[in-house]
Amino acid sequence: MNDLWRLSAVDLAALIRARKVSAKEAALAGLARLDAVNPVINAVVEHRPDDVMAQAEAIDAALARGDEIGPLGGVPVTVKVNIDYAGYATTNGVQIQSGVLPTSNSPVIDNLRKAGAVILGRTNCPAFSYRWFTTNLLYGDTKNPRDPALTPGGSSGGAAASVAAGIGHIAHGTDIAGSIRYPAYACGVHGLRPTLGRIAAYNAALPERIISGQITAMSGPLARTIGDIRLGLAVMSQPDMRDPWWVPAPLEGPSMPKRAAICLRPDGLEITDDVEAAVRDAGRRLRAAGWTVEEVDNTPPLREAAELQTQIWFGDGFQGMMDAAEREGDPGALACLRGIQPRLEGFENGGLSRALVRRSSFVRDWQMFLQDYAVVLMPVSGELPFADNLDLKDAESFERVWRAQLPQIGIPFMGLPALVVSTGLVGRTPTGVQIVAGRYREDLCLLAGEAIEAGGTPVSPIDPVTA
């Protein structure tokens, strides 16, 4: 049973419910896999084997009593270090928060535990979760298991690297401008950023988030199968009244015709030939699955949305962010803030209000557009995954990275769901596509994602490449 870590969460949960495998066996397999590969990739930065085994034994005891163990009963998962987990520091990848020890769990942790998940460990992120690269002074570098020369993505780089390497079956991540979607893309797995309000968020150990974080940052699942993404979403999105933005929306909406728009260059995005090939390939897979796929020249506004998303993310309280980064001394966080600062000119003079007013127009435009299409298929990024820490090379490289990430940055401004589906490799560099749907229509993203997944080679956990 040492290869249980290879299974999907759905399949492992079924085996445990049928008592063909124990939660203890699944936990031992997960810990063994962590011990075998984590030293190479540094994806999981904190784990306590005794606690893991105690969680698993509690699941086995509940099963023996005939109790309901939940849809993830006994399945090992990972969670990111930026959400409250009682007894574990909510560091967000920075030394200055290493003393933040919560006494209660975030809604995501509580929902995972209620569903019977066994939390295997905590995954790495860049300092303050600012970058699409994952390194910090507290835990060090996370490596991409497919190619250590490539970024594992960020800010949920540890989450994507762990699940790609078979450490856990579902990983929790957070996304304010691509922090679930880009790591999924970079590590060759799938990742879902849900609709605003779908998954409850709250960190009691930290001050309330500024309004931009409240309306654009979302938790979500990363996994190796779309079926596991679906399961992770269902589990994480259970009610929690601590989040005033949580919405009791059904996970399945009204049926829509299987009609997809494909946009290769949304709002003038420059793309490479490999990116275009990946999007066209995904479109062919949808057509083969019975979807109507129409190529469109453009989507509703995305470039201005991305600029406004950047401004509200960093502009509201920028000096406080800079002060904290200087105290931490993290080179990546400082480079990010300094690179972003020119985009914030004039924001303090009513910029937040102007951005939120403009947001209403963009949400309306996208809602009207998505009346005609179940989903929009587009690039994740204008380029294949970047060389690791490219944004630190020079100012030109920093701008190159931000330009390419337009599809990821813009979508959160409207609060829309977006799913990244891994579609294959160019050499050993992953490729993938982004699927966008209307608000609370993650089901449509997943429906299209399943068709794209079925038309290609399934994602399997890999042994990390070391050179």
Which residues are catalytically annotated? Answer: 80, 155, 179
Measured torsion, CA atoms of residues 382, 386, 392, 395, in degrees rounded to the nearest 10: -30
> DSSP letter string over 267-292?
GG----HHHHHHHHHHHHHHHHTT-E
Contacts of 428 (CB under 8 A, 6+ apart): 146, 147, 465
Quick one: which of 122, 166, 168, 235 has its CA closest to 27?
168
Q: Across the strands, what pairs with 425?
A: 430
CA distance 386 to 375: 27
CA distance 76 to 424: 26
429, 384 contact by CB (below 8 A): yes
Tokens of 45: 């930065």
CA distance 261 to 263: 6
> DSSP letter string over 83-131?
S-BTTB---TT-GGGTT---SS--HHHHHHHHTT-EEEEEE---GGG-S
244, 344 contact by CB (below 8 A): no
